[in-house]
A and B are shown apart, each in its own frame.
Chain A
Amino acid sequence: MISESLVELSRWQFALTALYHFLFVPLTLGLAFLLAIMETVYVVTGKQIYQDMVKFWGKLFGINFALGVTTGLTMEFQFGTNWAYYSHYVGDIFGAPLAIEGLVAFFLESTFVGLFFFGWDRLSKYQHLTVTWLVAFGSNFSALWILIANGWMQNPLGAEFNIDTMRMEMQDFALVLFNPVAQVKFVHTVMGGYVAGALFVLGISAFYLLKKRDVAFAKRSFTVASVFGMCAVLGVMLLGDESGYEMGDVQKYKLAAIEAEWETQEAPASFTLFGIPNQETQQTDFAIKIPYVLGLIATRSTTEQVTGLKDIVAQHEQRIVNGIQAVTALTAIRSGNDTPEARAVFEQHKQDLGYGMLMHRYVADPARSTPEQIHQAAIDSIPSVMPLFFAFRLMVACGIAMFVLLIAALWICYTRRYTQYTWLLRACLCAIPLPWLAIESGWFVAEFGRQPWAIGEILPTFMATSSLTARDLWISLVGFITVYSALLVVEMWLMFRFARLGPSSLHTGRYHLENQRLEADDASPAPVTTTTKLA
């Protein structure tokens, strides 16, 4: 049996490094398109200010991009370093989209991003514009393939277990590719990234408007961000709803956990707006319910039921009992006792093999499981409800807040009173963290809600780890936390510094701080006070 602490630490390490990577990816996804849009306006209108916008927001894009690349490497390495059994067990399917991601998307994005930064004087206007669009498309394709891989973890279609190689193998690539969960997830996730990009530009532009400096630059950026942001936030909400509908179809346990749906209610089920879910007593204390809403959202009907957690646990218990027979037959076959009888038993129960494997956590030989152990495994086969319940509500609340804010921002653009409503501008500035809160909680809901599975109903998370010791994990985890924290501090410091400077950091001589400095220089040749002048 694998030690619980190794599993816990491996999960923590993966979660922290993935959440950290996901601080940078959404901004890359969103800013890349904003840059492409701004540059298109530049090429069409020929106005210099739009090129300055591309270059300035591009500088911030670069600071963020560097850490996105850095932390992305960790993710690719980590399946092998920390989830070796997972890599062996599903690499035949899961590896393919990752490799294709490299070939189709990541090469495109990374090869052209260098030209985006350094190719201004080497490329024609149109060539450079093409390069910028290719970077944007490259980063988005990249997200597509990663989410196809992730979608397969949530809803593993098109694969079959092979006894000889002792792993899952691909049967139908089209099913993996056009997995409905993956498609919905992809659009929901990249649109979330667009919102992050939009609110980032919006907030920083609002800061310049509040300071009444570089107003021409700021109001154009503000407008582009509001329009783009509004389209994106509508997309996010629409696809979020679609996501819920898909989940009701293929991940019933996740949906029920998010909604703290303990009992199967009569259709259409009511929606719990707020409450304190209690895993022990299997009920939600202090629940505030809205009739009919959950049933309508999750099933889009008034007659279909949303299965409650208690019923799901009962179903899982039966599947575990069947699965134990599959595991027992498989063990016999693998240890040389390859009889037609054993093969027949295995074939009969192989769709529940994963459920049988859940028992490895409680007993060395699943064939000797006691009814109590099986019951416990069934209870543990649903995720913890409370964290999911709240993370989901946090995500939705942030989404609604951003939607309202973007309406206000559009209204500012429409009235053209860019500097008048200071409280609104201040709200835009303070709202910069909102998309990140929403995105990180969304990631948490998706991945924590998948537990106890690494691959939905196929491979339990605790079996997926590498053969390492808890000590190994402590060393690497502390290492990651230390280095990542240091990198984050440096990144944020640079980001704040350049955001405060604004377009003056381009040293074109056209922007506020440079003119101010020139005036000051004229008055008195002031000594350089800081040792860290900007390049």
Chain B
Amino acid sequence: MIDYEMLKLIWWLLVGVLLIGFAIADGMDMGAAILMPFVGRNDAERRVVINTIAPHWDGNQVWLVTAGGAIFAAWPPVYATAFSGFYFAMLLVLLALFFRPVGFDYRSKIESPQWRTWWDRLIWFGSFVPTLVFGVAFGNLLQGVPFEVDSMMRASYAGTFFELLNPFAILCGLISVAMIVMHGGAWLMARADRVVAERSRVALQGGAIALVVLFMIAGAWVGQSGMGYVVTEIGDTSGAMNLLNKSVTHASWLAKYDNPLEWIAPLLGIAGALVAFALAGMKRGGLAFVASSLSMAGVIATAGLAMFPFIMPSSLQPAASLTLWDATSSAMTLTIMFWVALVMVPVILSYTLWCYIKMWRRITLEHISSNNHVLY
């Protein structure tokens, strides 16, 4: 039996792993779909793009479903407060995500150009919007979210949808888009027909540079504005906790970055992007994909670590901020879920890897024309 405090930490790490897994796995097909209209200049080239991700997008999307489920199970108040507070943002993501499964499957079933153009637009919308909104959501978490919690633990959000679209949050949204463009570009370099791959290289390199620049601007912004919170007083973190029994004040997120070890995450984010840029120049798409994955892990971990132990700070009632200590499930639930995850995550990674190995090949224009009725 692992003690409760340790379990809380483990689950913070595990949710982080699932979110990074989601970004790497689903990011690759979101990125490919965002790039589709730009790197695919005719129907056959666009079909090349879609068919590089055809066997994988559904499995990739499960990372999102599982991350959502894990947040529900491990941090019920976070799931409740974030999903209901960001109501219209969540519904917008949902609406966008509707068009991906349907678009992928239906697009090439009918040969009409109008039909396909419409689905191309919807697939683009379905990939771009969630990418942007997830970044915007992170931007809002970093600034603190205007919600409060009453004594019965009912949370209510006092902001509006449009307040979520503030300048810093939009900057974070753009970081997310740059990251996904870089990643999708790397994927297409490795898997798509040479014509498409060459255009994707340009996208990858553009995305990588944009990511590095925007990421550094965001860092400076956080430092300049003094954005951040700190827990000044909290009860026994090894027990079941009343969410409202703590004190929280403002303090810069960067205050934590006094330890050189803390710098690993942001440096990985920047170095990964630069290495991906260089590898793309050398036409090494597969390796660039690895570098861009590491970069994304670094960027996401930077935000997560900066906020530690906060998950969702409240700007309206800082004491009600959700932290990994007091917004978690019971020790029993965390234990059960821990063992399930410990067994299942390696199993999932193994069979997912097997699928990628089995389907690994460059999707050429000839391949599309000779399998016209089988492929997407």
Measured CB to CB, the residues of A under 8 A from B are: 62-63, 65-67, 69-70, 72-74, 76-77, 79-82, 84-96, 98-104, 106-108, 110-115, 117-120, 122-123, 127, 162, 164-167, 169-171, 173, 334-335, 466-468, 472, 475-476, 479, 483, 487, 490-491, 494, 498, 505-507, 531-535
Contacts and interface: CB of A to CB of B under 8 A. Distances in A.
B80 A84 contact: yes
Q: Is the interface of A mostly helix, strand, loop or mixed?
A: helix
Contacts, number: 268
Contacts of B41: none
Nearest to A467: B156
Interface in B236-278: 240-243
Interface stretch (B138-146, B168-176, B214-222, B333-341): B333-341
Nearest to B243: A165
B72 A114 contact: no
Contact of B359 (A70, A99, A122): A122
Interface of B: 51, 54-59, 61-62, 65-66, 68-70, 72-74, 76-77, 79-84, 87-88, 90-91, 94-95, 97-98, 100-102, 104-106, 108-112, 115, 151-157, 240-243, 329-330, 332-333, 336-337, 340-341, 344-345, 348, 351-352, 355, 358-359, 361, 372-375
B373 A506 contact: yes
Nearest to A531: B112
B125 to A, nearest CB: 12
A532 B58 contact: no
A111 B58 contact: yes
A466 B81 CA distance: 9
B359 A107 contact: no
User: Which of A62, A89, A92, A505 counts the most B-chain CB atoms under 10 A from its CB?
Assistant: A92
A111 B351 contact: yes
A70 B355 contact: no
Given A93-B333, A164-B240, A85 B58 contact: no
Given A95-B74, A122-B358, A531-B112, A73 B94 contact: yes
A98 B72 contact: yes
A186 to B, nearest CB: 18
B316 to A, nearest CB: 13
A269 B157 CA distance: 52
A108 B66 CA distance: 12
Q: Is the interface of B mostly helix, strand, loop or mixed?
A: helix
A80 B80 contact: yes
Given A74-B94, A114-B355, A92 B65 contact: no
Contacts of B153: 88-89, 165-167
Nearest to B113: A531
> 4 shortest A-B CB distances, which residue pairs?
A91-B76, A80-B83, A95-B73, A114-B55
Contacts of B98: 70, 73, 483, 487
B102 A76 contact: no
Contacts of A101: 69
A106 B84 CA distance: 24
Contact of A535 (B81, B84, B97, B108): B108
29 contacts: A62-B105, A66-B101, A66-B104, A66-B106, A80-B80, A87-B79, A91-B73, A91-B79, A99-B69, A99-B73, A102-B62, A103-B344, A110-B59, A112-B351, A113-B58, A114-B59, A114-B359, A115-B55, A115-B359, A118-B54, A170-B329, A170-B330, A334-B152, A466-B80, A468-B84, A472-B88, A483-B95, A507-B372, A535-B372
B61 A87 contact: no
Nearest to A81: B83
B356 to A, nearest CB: 10
B59 A107 contact: yes
Contacts of A505: 373
A410 to B, nearest CB: 34
Contact of B82 (A80, A113, A476): A80
A534 B337 CA distance: 47
Nearest to A333: B151
A98 B69 contact: yes
B105 A169 contact: no
B374 A92 contact: no
A164 B83 CA distance: 23
A93 B110 CA distance: 45
A77 B84 contact: no
A498 B110 CA distance: 10
Contacts of B102: 66-67, 70, 487, 490-491
A507 B84 contact: no
Given A92-B76, A490-B106, A535-B111, A467 B69 contact: no
A117 B102 CA distance: 15
Given A87-B76, A95-B73, A70 B106 contact: no
A334 B345 CA distance: 39
Contact of A479 (B77, B95, B358, B372): B95
